[in-house]
């Protein structure tokens, strides 16, 4: 088990999760000295409030944590996890009104994440005793996969280019026993991935399409596609400097797809999994693709370039066309695709798009159940006219400022014809501010709900 989770501990310190309504009962059960100490500290069980109670020797005897009531609309299932970064080193066990014990424990593990590539490791931290009857291996599988995705997103682009994304996927292939191949540089032209090549050719770091395959070929086909733009300058439609500050996270879709694939493979779910990551750097040079260029896609559709800063949908289109050729039972893509999605729903609630109403219903339900929330947005076909081009089959951006996330999804949908169950997630991949279980920085969105979905559709045994 990792350093934040222990199977058992005879000296574990109890953490009492308590609501305001339940506080009198909890206080009544404490020794007089502890009750007076809590009262002296002004503990009222406000959500997020906590107090460390000492014993007679001054050591930590117990912890009280205020949480929302079960009927509170704002209740966060990860709320108990915030203590992982606040308590002194030691072993702790959760009790009381924590809500879902599995999510409380997962929140603890996710809260303990720290990106340490460029600094000294953190000192010893508060460890959680695995609650009785809980699947610790599954908790660690999810937490480890989220940590991997966060590490990939947090790593700056000088150390996380297309080749490094490929290396991360190859390392995952070694871990899970998968086969990994890559089509690199000009071979993309020879193998008919012209839009991936066009977007990445301006960079000295060669573009590539990374292809991981795992599982029994006789099992149902599940394919995940992730946008792997290692850094996005905007191309010739250059971003302002402020717009580039977080562009190391533009491969957050690839990171989410990698995390979901890791969970599925390490759980040994009975699927034939394919992971496709087009990895590029959208740079500026004499070989940059230009506004007004017309590119021929893998699918054969000609695409007029309306803005070189909308490069992600171009590389995804070629990858989705490849994925769709074998008509998987389930096809999902993840991409940090549009600012319009953030304008509509903010950084914490990614929109998703699908024509499959049954799939949409399960995605919404499971997102809430595992605290990996998303929100369905419409593939509104009348807006397809916004992608009309006078000289090509379609433009890859709309002609105006409206419905940017919807039109991006409609563009991608043009490259998926054979697959009935297809969903597109327009994620942000970043926490602008810390919240329980979600430290500030790179974030893994929609991967855990994908794992829950695949596990539900294709259960073990």
Give the Cα-Cα-Cα angle 418, 186, 410 (nearest 5 degrees): 30
Options 114, 170, 239, 365, the catalytic residue: 239
418 belongs to the catalytic site: no
Residue 91 sits at the vertex; the CA angle it makes with 431 and 42, to the nearest 5 degrees, is 70
Asked if 113 contacts 415 with a C-beta cutoff of 8 angstroms, the reply is no
Query: What secondary structure, in 3-state letters, does 112-161 show?
Result: CCCCCCCCCCCCCCEEEECCCCCCHHHHHHHHHHHHHHHHHHHCCHHHCC
Cα torsion through 252, 255, 256, 257, rounded to 10 = 120
Phi, psi of 228 (to 5 degrees): -115, 60
For helices 136-154 and 252-266, angle between their N-to-C axes, nearest 10 degrees: 160
> Which residue in the list 205, 274, 299, 313 is annotated as catalytic?
313
> CA geometry: angle at 30 spanning 102 and 67, to 5°?
35
| Other residues' Cβ atoms within 10 Å of the Cβ of residue 458 | 16
Across-strand partners of 176?
none
E strand map for 154-261:
179-184, 208-214, 221-226, 228-232
CA angle, 208 as apex, 251 and 171 as ends, to 5°?
Answer: 70
User: Is 313 noted as a catalytic residue in this protein?
Assistant: yes
Question: Residue 352: what are its φ and ψ, rounded to 5°?
Answer: -135, 160
Q: At a CB cut-off of 8 Å and minimum separation 6, what does 241 contact?
A: none
Token pair listed for 44? 């009222």
**Residues labelled catalytic:** 239, 313
């Amino acid at each position: 088990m990792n350093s934040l989770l222990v199977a058992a501990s005879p000296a574990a310190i109890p953490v009492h999760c308590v609501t305001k309504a339940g506080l009198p009962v909890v206080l009544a059960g404490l020794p007089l000295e502890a009750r007076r100490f809590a009262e002296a500290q002004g503990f009222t069980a406000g959500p997020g409030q906590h107090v460390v109670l000492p014993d007679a020797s001054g050591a930590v005897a117990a912890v009280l944590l205020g949480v929302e009531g079960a009927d509170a609309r704002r209740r966060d299932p990860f709320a108990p996890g915030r203590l992982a970064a606040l308590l002194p080193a030691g072993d702790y066990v959760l009790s009381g009104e924590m809500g879902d014990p599995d999510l409380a424990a997962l929140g603890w593990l996710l809260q303990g994440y720290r990106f340490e590539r460029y600094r000294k490791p953190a000192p010893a931290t508060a460890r959680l005793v695995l609650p009785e009857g809980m699947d610790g291996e599954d908790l660690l599988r999810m937490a480890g996969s989220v940590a991997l995705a966060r590490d990939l997103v947090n790593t700056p682009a000088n150390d996380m280019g297309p080749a490094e994304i490929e290396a991360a996927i190859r390392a995952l292939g070694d871990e899970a026993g998968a086969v990994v191949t890559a089509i690199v540089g000009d071979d993309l032209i020879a193998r008919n991935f012209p839009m991936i090549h066009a977007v990445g050719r301006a960079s000295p770091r060669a573009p590539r399409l990374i292809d991981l395959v795992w599982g029994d070929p006789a099992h149902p086909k599940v394919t995940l596609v992730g946008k792997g733009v290692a850094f996005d300058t905007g191309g010739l439609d250059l971003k302002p400097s402020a717009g580039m500050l977080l562009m190391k996270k533009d491969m957050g879709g690839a990171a989410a797809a990698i995390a979901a694939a890791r969970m599925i493979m390490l759980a040994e779910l009975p699927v034939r999994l394919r992971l496709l990551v087009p990895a590029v750097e959208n740079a500026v040079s004499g070989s940059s693709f230009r506004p007004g260029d017309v590119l021929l896609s893998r699918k054969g559709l000609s695409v007029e370039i309306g803005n070189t800063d909308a490069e992600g949908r171009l590389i995804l289109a070629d990858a989705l066309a490849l994925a769709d050729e074998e008509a998987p039972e389930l096809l999902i893509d993840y991409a940090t695709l549009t600012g319009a999605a953030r304008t509509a729903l903010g950084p914490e609630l990614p929109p998703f798009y699908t024509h499959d109403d049954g799939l949409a219903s399960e995605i919404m339900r499971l997102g809430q159940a595992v605290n990996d929330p998303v929100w369905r947005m419409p593939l509104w076909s009348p807006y397809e006219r916004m992608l009309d081009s006078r000289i090509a089959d379609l433009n890859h951006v709309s002609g105006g400022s409206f419905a940017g996330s919807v039109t991006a999804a409609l563009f991608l949908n043009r490259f998926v014809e054979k697959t009935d169950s297809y969903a597109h997630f327009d994620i942000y991949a970043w926490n602008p501010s810390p919240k329980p279980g979600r430290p500030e920085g790179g974030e893994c969105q929609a991967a855990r709900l994908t794992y829950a979905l695949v596990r539900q559709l294709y259960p073990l045994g």
